[in-house]
């Protein structure tokens, strides 16, 4: 068999923990090989060894059949291994070409030969169907384009083995489809790909074989075509997982949130949300579907008080809140699971405990006469940690920074639900989480609905919006395109509306 | 001892080492030099008293810088705030005839408010227009400097052209019993007030909702805003309290250690406050100890000069070198981090699933603080 990469019986220990235990991964030439596992399963450690960032304690690595020692990433580069990192490593005020040649600039005398580099980048871009403008600045191009620049960076360095680390986490549905096409092109041009992911749908769409690891252990390698998503999920999580969110039909009651003709500016000082109207009632989940940057952030920030409202009104429980402070809105029963848990959601240098009182530190019993009441804070945080299964080394005393992404997210969701809000706004609540955590968080959202709360769910994952919501409002370019019942629609209809095609247009 | 404490001690040690090298290069015996330096600050009760007195304004300027830093602000207008605070207190002391028991609190209040006023302006500019406080606070120093220069000459001129009239003993923080206790040293009640301030600031930062708000804004202003905390209000208040503490340092200096104001001199204790705060690991109690260390250096310097043939310029260079190392304790922290990094990232990657492929994401976000 023709293997380009063989990682055989790899074992890697870190002090106190076995990160990889007897793991084997064999990449055939010209295949897309998925590496599937939950957060913390050891995927990154394994790939770190292939990329020369760690060295295996036991086991061997073979490239093109011969055993190699990969001492550092430069060696990996020389062996033709390239990696597209989840967080791009680009200089924002440089052009794409400047970024691509960074570190291996072609010289012409004492100057950089940017012309020939630009030509080469353009050629590569064309050959692999990447459609990258060689002279565009990084700050002016979309996230999806930036990722392609990262891919070009590897191709420019003649990488034969491409590692994609969670490449779709930052992409919109369309961009994901484009990326899948690009991967297929790469394979056709003779490259081999390792795809690190925990998204089964993508594996199904693009991968040939899939190696599953769980808690540092090798579970198996399967042929993707003959294995169902359900089976792979079970291998990954270790128990059967239900994809379909089970829920009873909603019984909406009074209107909790009423948005009327709302206009909000975006960061570029133009209207990011235009004449937007929506109602959310008690006991229902309304999902907002749309491609990233189509007014979702503006909508959420206008409701929560983080952004100024230009015109229109937001009414919560029959009271206009347009000019109320963030604090007053929280007191009115608006809770917000923010889009970016590191920017807004948590104070990473505070303990988990201190983070749990971020909105209520000034209230009894957490403080009295402006003095913090530690015992009360402590027991409150402990309860959230227990109820929401937040795993932290030292419990409430752990620094938020030290928690894994999933546990940080659970802590935030626990904190918001513990406020017992009448309106819960959940923005991308499962971003970057694994199947097990996603299932859990969806259950919690539906539980809120069943308790008679109003839930506004904003997500870029179409599956999530469709599975969890009762009604779906679709936004495009800051405008409401339409509202559909989740039970009466399909991906195709919503997809078209996300692209800006209105309901009535379609039937013509 | 916690990590910050260890870092500070290593910094001090490196500073002393550098000072020793300097002495060797200039042909002096470092052991003898340091012996006299330390003896100069501790040999007699009077010398100990003077060390403590020298440290007193430094405790407060260190505290001032620390306080602002906790809210993510870098207040380097402490010299001007200290000068103006001291001036306000002096003006009150020279113009009113109240008994000590009323006059001294009034002077302290005037000093606090004077310093707070000068920090309020950069705080306001930061909150409303997002003008960086480093620029706007340092520029205030000269405004303070020339206002004091003019006003003292015009209204409070003493025997000499360059200084104000002397404060009456009843209008200073000096206390005969305290001076006598330390063999006639110029130690004064300022030390007790400074220690009290350390305790109050530590209490505010760690135990109160106000401290919680301030630190929230300092660590992550976006999250603070999200939690309903008024970022602008806290920035302004933090700057004012920071300035007020610097103003109190001025009272200690000009109505305690001295009893008049020399014009045309920017108080060096202001900028030293930055070094004190950094060496103290940006904690109130740390500022207290590092100020004492600085006090020892400053008050032992003269004795070293007198007892050895180290020229005074070299002595000052040595002191400056030690301070430099102390102030750059962040370097020591980086080195320590690097030392234990491979091990730490490895643990982190598994314990928290932070991705080992992006080591920068697991580092402490020192840059984040700079952004604020």
Is there a domain that residue B39 lies in?
Answer: yes
- pLDDT value at residue B28: 87
The verdict on a CB contact (< 8 Å) between B222 and A358 is no
pLDDT band at B340 (very low <50, low <70, confident <90, very high): low
Work out the burial of residue A394: count CB atoms within 10 Å of its CB; fewer than 13 is exposed, 13-18 middle, 19 or more buried.
exposed
Chain B contact probe: residue of A81, A197, A333, A347 with most B CBs at under 10 A: A347
Nearest CA in chain A to B204: A371
DSSP three-state, residue A197: strand
The alpha carbons of chain A give a radius of gyration, in whole angstroms, of 25
Handedness of CA A310, A315, A320, A322 (dihedral sign): negative
pLDDT band at A472 (very low <50, low <70, confident <90, very high): very high
Mind telling me how many Å the CA of B350 is from chain A's nearest CA?
6
Chain A contact probe: residue of B212, B231, B347 with most A CBs at under 10 A: B212
Mind telling me how many Å the CA of A175 is from chain B's nearest CA?
24
Is there a domain that residue B288 lies in?
Answer: yes
Q: What percent of chain B has pLDDT over 90?
A: 62
Mind telling me how many Å the CA of A379 is from chain B's nearest CA?
17
The verdict on a CB contact (< 8 Å) between B216 and A165 is no
The verdict on a CB contact (< 8 Å) between A350 and B215 is yes
pLDDT band at B225 (very low <50, low <70, confident <90, very high): very high
Q: What is the mean pLDDT of residues B341-362?
A: 41
Q: What is the mean pLDDT of chain A?
A: 89
Nearest CB to A330 within list B212, B228, B352: B228
Which of chain B's residues have a Cβ under 8 Å away from the Cβ of A327?
A: 228-230
Nearest CA in chain A to B228: A327
Chain A contact probe: residue of B350, B363, B364 with most A CBs at under 10 A: B350
- pLDDT value at residue B6: 83
Phi, psi for A92 (deg, rounded to 5): -70, -30
Residue B146's contacts (CB-CB under 8 Å, 6 or more residues apart) are none
Is there a domain that residue B250 lies in?
Answer: yes
Strand (E) or helix (H) holding A277 = strand A271-281
Nearest CB to A44 within list B226, B355, B364: B355
The verdict on a CB contact (< 8 Å) between A325 and B361 is no
Q: How many CA atoms lie within 13 A of B39 on its CB side?
A: 12
The verdict on a CB contact (< 8 Å) between B220 and A345 is no
The verdict on a CB contact (< 8 Å) between A403 and B352 is yes
The verdict on a CB contact (< 8 Å) between B223 and A358 is yes
Of A283-297, B6-20, B86-100, B196-210, the range with the lowest mean pLDDT is B6-20
Contact, B270 vs B78, CB < 8 A?
Answer: yes
Chain A contact probe: residue of B200, B209, B341 with most A CBs at under 10 A: B209
The verdict on a CB contact (< 8 Å) between A306 and B226 is yes
The verdict on a CB contact (< 8 Å) between B209 and A367 is yes
Nearest CB to A44 within list B215, B226, B349: B349
For residue B279, give Cα distances in angstroms to A87, B3, B271: 35, 12, 13
The verdict on a CB contact (< 8 Å) between B346 and A14 is yes
pLDDT in tens, A297-315: 999 999 999 999 999 999 9
Residue B242's contacts (CB-CB under 8 Å, 6 or more residues apart) are B64, B65, B67, B68, B73, B75, B78, B81, B119
Q: In B280-353, which ranges are continuous DSSP H helix?
A: 284-307, 312-327, 329-339, 341-351
Q: Which domains does chain A have, with CATH numbers?
A: 3-237 (3.40.50.300), 246-333+424-508 (3.40.50.300), 344-420 (no CATH)
Which of chain B's residues have a Cβ under 8 Å away from the Cβ of A16?
A: 347
Q: How many CB pairs under 8 A join A and B?
A: 117
pLDDT band at B235 (very low <50, low <70, confident <90, very high): very high
Q: What is the mean pLDDT of residues A378-390?
A: 93
Is there a domain that residue B15 lies in?
Answer: no
pLDDT band at B281 (very low <50, low <70, confident <90, very high): confident
Nearest CA in chain B to A48: B357
Is there a domain that residue B60 lies in?
Answer: yes
Question: Which two three-digit tokens encode residue A338?
Answer: 């923010």
Q: What is the mean pLDDT of chain B?
A: 86
pLDDT in tens, B158-212: 888 889 999 998 899 999 999 999 988 999 999 999 999 999 999 999 999 999 9
Which of chain B's residues have a Cβ under 8 Å away from the Cβ of A329?
A: 228
**Pick the residue with more confidence: A383 or A45?**
A383
Is there a domain that residue B20 lies in?
Answer: no
Chain A contact probe: residue of B220, B365, B366 with most A CBs at under 10 A: B220
Question: Domain residues for B301?
Answer: 29-308
Nearest CB to B209 within list A87, A359, A372: A372
Is there a domain that residue B359 lies in?
Answer: no
Nearest CB to A45 within list B210, B213, B349: B349
Which of chain A's residues have a Cβ under 8 Å away from the Cβ of B369?
A: none
The verdict on a CB contact (< 8 Å) between A14 and B347 is yes
pLDDT surpassing 50 at residue B368: no
Q: For residues A140 and A268, what is the distance between their CA atoms, to the nearest angstrom?
A: 13
pLDDT surpassing 60 at residue B354: no
pLDDT in tens, A126-168: 988 888 999 999 988 877 888 999 999 999 999 999 999 888 8
Which of chain A's residues have a Cβ under 8 Å away from the Cβ of B349?
A: 14, 19, 44-45
Question: Which two three-digit tokens encode residue B127?
Answer: 């909150």
> CATH number for the domain including B148?
1.10.3470
Give the residue among A318, A277, A280 at the shortest CA–CA distance from A295: A277
**The total number of structural domains that make up chain B:** 1
What are the beta bridge partners of residue B262? B163
> Parallel, antiparallel, or unpaired for β A3-14 and A58-63?
antiparallel
Q: What is the mean pLDDT of residues B237-250?
A: 97
Mind telling me how many Å the CA of A306 is from chain B's nearest CA?
7
Q: For residues A270 and A363, what is the distance between their CA atoms, to the nearest angstrom?
A: 38
Q: For residues A319 and A329, what is the distance between their CA atoms, to the nearest angstrom?
A: 11
- pLDDT value at residue A413: 94
Residue A155's contacts (CB-CB under 8 Å, 6 or more residues apart) are A82, A124, A128
Q: What is the mean pLDDT of residues A81-88?
A: 85
Is there a domain that residue B334 lies in?
Answer: no
Give the residue among A88, A89, A66, A92 at the shortest CA–CA distance from A79: A66
Does this complex have an ipTM over 0.90? Answer: no
Which of chain A's residues have a Cβ under 8 Å away from the Cβ of B219?
A: 347-350
Q: What is the mean pLDDT of residues A272-281?
A: 95
> Parallel, antiparallel, or unpaired for β A454-459 and A423-427?
parallel
Which of chain B's residues have a Cβ under 8 Å away from the Cβ of A372?
A: 207-209, 212
DSSP string for B138-202: HHHHHHHHHHHHHHHHHH-B-SSTTBBPPPPGGGSS--HHHHHHTTT----THHHHHHHHHHHHH
Mind telling me how many Å the CA of A489 is from chain B's nearest CA?
35
The verdict on a CB contact (< 8 Å) between B225 and A361 is no
């Amino acid at each position: 068999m023709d293997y380009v990469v063989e990682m055989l019986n790899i074992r890697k220990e870190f002090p106190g923990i076995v990160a990889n235990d007897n793991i084997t991964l064999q990449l055939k030439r010209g295949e897309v090989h998925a590496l599937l596992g939950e957060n913390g399963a050891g995927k990154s450690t394994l790939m770190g060894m292939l990329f020369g960032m760690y060295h295996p304690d036991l086991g061997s690595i073979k490239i093109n059949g011969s055993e190699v020692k990969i001492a550092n990433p430069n060696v990996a580069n020389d062996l033709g291994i390239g990696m597209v990192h989840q967080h791009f490593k680009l200089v924002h005020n440089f052009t794409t070409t400047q970024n691509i040649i960074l570190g291996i600039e072609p010289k012409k005398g004492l100057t950089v030969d940017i012309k020939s580099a630009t030509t080469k980048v353009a050629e590569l871009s064309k050959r692999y169907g990447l459609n990258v403008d060689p002279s565009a600045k990084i700050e002016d191009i979309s996230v999806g384009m930036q990722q392609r620049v990262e891919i070009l960076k590897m191709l420019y360095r003649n990488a034969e083995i491409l590692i994609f680390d969670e490449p779709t986490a930052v992409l919109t549905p369309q961009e994901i489809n484009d990326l899948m096409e690009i991967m297929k092109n790469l394979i056709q041009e003779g490259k081999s790909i390792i795809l690190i992911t925990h998204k089964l749908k993508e594996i199904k769409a693009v991968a040939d074989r899939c190696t599953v690891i769980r808690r540092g252990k090798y579970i198996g390698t399967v042929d993707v075509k003959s294995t169902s998503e359900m089976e792979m999920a079970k291998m990954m999580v270790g128990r059967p997982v239900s994809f379909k969110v089970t829920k009873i039909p909603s019984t909406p009651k009074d209107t909790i949130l009423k948005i009327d003709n709302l206009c909000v500016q975006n960061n570029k000082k133009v209207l990011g949300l235009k004449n937007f109207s929506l109602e959310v009632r008690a006991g229902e989940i309304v999902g907002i579907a749309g491609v990233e940057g189509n007014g979702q952030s503006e909508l959420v920030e206008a409701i929560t008080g983080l952004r100024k409202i230009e015109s229109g009104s937001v009414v919560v429980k029959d009271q206009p809140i347009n000019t109320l402070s963030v604090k007053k809105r929280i007191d009115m029963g608006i809770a917000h699971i923010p889009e970016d848990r590191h920017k807004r959601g948590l104070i990473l240098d505070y303990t988990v405990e201190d983070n749990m009182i971020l909105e209520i530190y000034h209230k009894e019993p957490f403080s009295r006469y402006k003095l913090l009441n530690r015992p009360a804070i402590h027991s409150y945080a402990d309860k959230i940690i227990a109820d929401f299964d937040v795993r932290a080394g030292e419990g409430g005393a752990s620094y938020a920074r030290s928690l894994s992404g999933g546990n940080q997210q659970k802590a935030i969701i626990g904190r918001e639900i513990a406020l017992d809000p009448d309106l819960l706004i959940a923005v991308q609540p499962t971003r970057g989480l694994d199947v097990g955590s996603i299932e859990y968080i969806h259950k919690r959202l539906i539980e809120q609905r069943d308790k008679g709360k109003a839930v506004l769910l904003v997500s870029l994952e179409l599956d999530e919006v469709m599975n969890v919501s009762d009604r779906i409002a679709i936004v495009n370019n800051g405008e409401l395109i339409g509202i559909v019942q989740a039970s009466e629609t399909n991906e195709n209809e919503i997809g078209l509306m996300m692209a800006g095609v209105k309901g009535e247009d379609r039937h013509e | 001892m916690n990590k910050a404490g260890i870092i500070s001690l290593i910094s001090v040690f490196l500073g002393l080492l550098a000072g020793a090298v300097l002495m060797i290069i200039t042909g002096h015996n470092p052991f003898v030099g340091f012996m006299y330096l330390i003896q100069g600050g501790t040999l007699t009760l009077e010398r100990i008293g003077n060390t403590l007195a020298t440290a007193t304004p430094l405790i407060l300027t260190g505290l001032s810088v620390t306080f602002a830093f906790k809210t993510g602000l870098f207040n380097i207008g402490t010299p001007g705030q200290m000068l103006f605070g001291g001036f306000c207190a002096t003006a009150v002391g020279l113009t009113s005839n109240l008994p000590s028991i009323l006059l001294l609190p009034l002077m302290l209040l005037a000093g606090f408010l004077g310093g707070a006023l000068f920090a309020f302006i950069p705080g306001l500019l930061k909150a409303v227009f997002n003008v960086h406080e480093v620029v706007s606070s340092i520029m205030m120093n000269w405004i303070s400097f020339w206002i004091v220069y003019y006003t003292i000459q015009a209204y409070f001129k003493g025997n000499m052209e360059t200084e104000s009239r002397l404060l009456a003993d009843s209008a200073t923080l000096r206390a005969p019993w305290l001076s006598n206790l330390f063999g006639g040293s110029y130690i004064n009640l300022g030390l007790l007030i400074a220690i009290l301030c350390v305790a109050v600031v530590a209490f505010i930062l760690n135990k109160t909702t106000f401290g919680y708000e301030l630190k929230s804004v300092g660590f992550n202003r976006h999250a603070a805003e999200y939690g309903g905390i008024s970022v602008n209000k806290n920035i302004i208040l933090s700057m004012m309290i920071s300035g007020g503490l610097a103003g109190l340092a001025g009272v200690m200096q000009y109505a305690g250690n001295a009893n008049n104001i020399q014009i045309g001199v920017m108080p060096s204790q202001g900028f030293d406050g930055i070094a004190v705060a950094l060496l103290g690991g940006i904690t109130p109690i740390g500022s207290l100890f590092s100020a004492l260390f600085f006090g020892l250096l400053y008050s032992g310097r003269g004795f070293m000069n007198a007892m050895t043939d180290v020229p005074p310029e070299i002595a000052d260079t040595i002191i400056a070198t030690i301070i430099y190392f102390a102030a750059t304790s962040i370097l020591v922290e980086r080195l320590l981090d690097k030392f234990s990094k491979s091990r730490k990232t490895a643990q982190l990657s598994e314990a928290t699933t932070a991705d080992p492929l992006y080591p920068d994401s697991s580092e402490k976000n020192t840059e984040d603080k700079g952004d604020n």
